[in-house]
Amino acid sequence: MPTRTQSKERGLALLMALVAIVVIGALVTGTLFAGRVEIASGRNALWSTQAEEAAEGGLAAAYANWSADWNGIPVDQDLVLPAGLPVPGNSRMRYIQTIRRLGGGVFLVSARGEKLGASGQVNATRFLARLGKLRYPWVDVQAAVTSQGDTKIGGNATIDGRNSTPPGWPTCESADVAGIRTNEVVVQNGSPQVYGSPPKIEHDGGVVDSVFTSPFNTLQPIATITIAPGTYNSMAPTISGSPAVCAKANSLNWGEPNRGAGSVPECSSYFPIIYVPGDLHLTGGRGQGILLVQGNLQMQGGFEFTGIVIVLGTVNTTANSSKVTGAILAGNVDLGDITSFGGTPVVAYSRCAVDAALQGSARAVPLAGRGWVQVAGR
């Protein structure tokens, strides 16, 4: 009878099957893990890019919407602004801006961009910063009154080019300027007084159209207040809220030029740019900053303004006239009979007023070279 030999390979197929299952499982697991890592890496890269885009949007928005209030931030102090959305309506991305004044007109603007999850958690952040410098508009102020064309002064008008400081303001030293500067002649009637160094400059070839139109065209697009042509008599600083703040939304709030008792201190640092696309007739009130008039300007009734007045048409004052502390630049000037004005100057040059108005209108622009840096992110 044949002898049956016991096989030593019993269960080998089962072992190989198990090994194959383990190997295939490991391959599937590795592939799945690699896929999940790739997905997470791509998602993280996308979130980081979105956070960086949000930070860049914050930097761009800060410079594009620069507020004159930031010009007076104390040196080496931070101003943190409320969170903003780089894409309107998309609450999954936001930026938080910080403004720091470094001195010398230089600012460091930083923005933290964030990519948020569905429940509001922060998935990614990026910090970007960019240096900027204040750019002041160019205004050629070499006299209390600069006029293109014949300049008429009469009555008891006073044009004073000697540097003066508005009452209650910090003293600001500066050289005196001319009382009147024109490319034509000055015609005097009555008993007007003209002071300055020299009192009058006539036939000045440097008084050309660009002296008026260049600063006007630069400042008009960034005007903080635009009012319709017409007659106004109730400009006054106003406050709102609790604690009280200067009500800058009020178009007849042109800041507070006065200091001390009876003034509105909340508006003393507010120097708006007021633009009027036509003729303007002022019969009272007070304000400060820069006044831009596209047409003609007539002042009477005790109106007081501290800063710079640029008029492309004619400036005219009549009885019970007004006072401008700073400088006037106009196409033509007719400062008429002011016998009841009590000797108060119609125009008194003030370097302090001019500088304050220019600083209030200055805007920061990013530095062209080495002005951008990525601070941090995760």
Same-domain pairing of 215 and 105: no
Q: Among all chains, which residue has been given the structure tokens 């003293």?
A: 171
In which residue ranges of the chain is pLDDT below 70?
Answer: 1-11, 319-321, 332-345, 369-378
Residue 16 lies inside a defined structural domain of this protein: no
Residue 164 lies inside a defined structural domain of this protein: yes
Residue 110 lies inside a defined structural domain of this protein: yes
Same-domain pairing of 168 and 82: no
Same-domain pairing of 170 and 194: yes
3-state secondary structure of 58: helix
Look at the chain and report how many structural domains it folds into.
2
Same-domain pairing of 167 and 279: yes
User: What would the pLDDT profile of 123-139 be if each residue is shown by its tens digit?
Assistant: 899 999 999 998 888 89
- Of 366, 358, 368, 364, the residue nearest 135 (C-alpha): 364
pTM value? 0.77
Same-domain pairing of 218 and 300: yes
Residue type for position 108: L
Same-domain pairing of 202 and 330: yes
Residue 5 lies inside a defined structural domain of this protein: no
Distances in Å between the Cα of 214 and the Cα atoms of 218, 219, 221, 291, 309 are 6, 9, 12, 15, 14
Task: Pull the structure tokens for residue 166.
Answer: 């508005």
**What average pLDDT does the chain have?**
85
User: Cα–Cα distance between 374 and 31 in angstroms, integer?
Assistant: 35
Same-domain pairing of 343 and 373: no
Same-domain pairing of 369 and 352: no
pLDDT of residue 343: 36
Residue 129 lies inside a defined structural domain of this protein: yes
Same-domain pairing of 68 and 99: yes
What domain range includes position 124?
49-136+363-377
Same-domain pairing of 56 and 150: no
User: Cα–Cα distance between 277 and 310 in angstroms, integer?
Assistant: 12
Residue 8 lies inside a defined structural domain of this protein: no
User: Cα–Cα distance between 109 and 129 in angstroms, integer?
Assistant: 6
Cis link prior to 192 (omega < 30° from 0)?
Answer: no
Same-domain pairing of 53 and 168: no
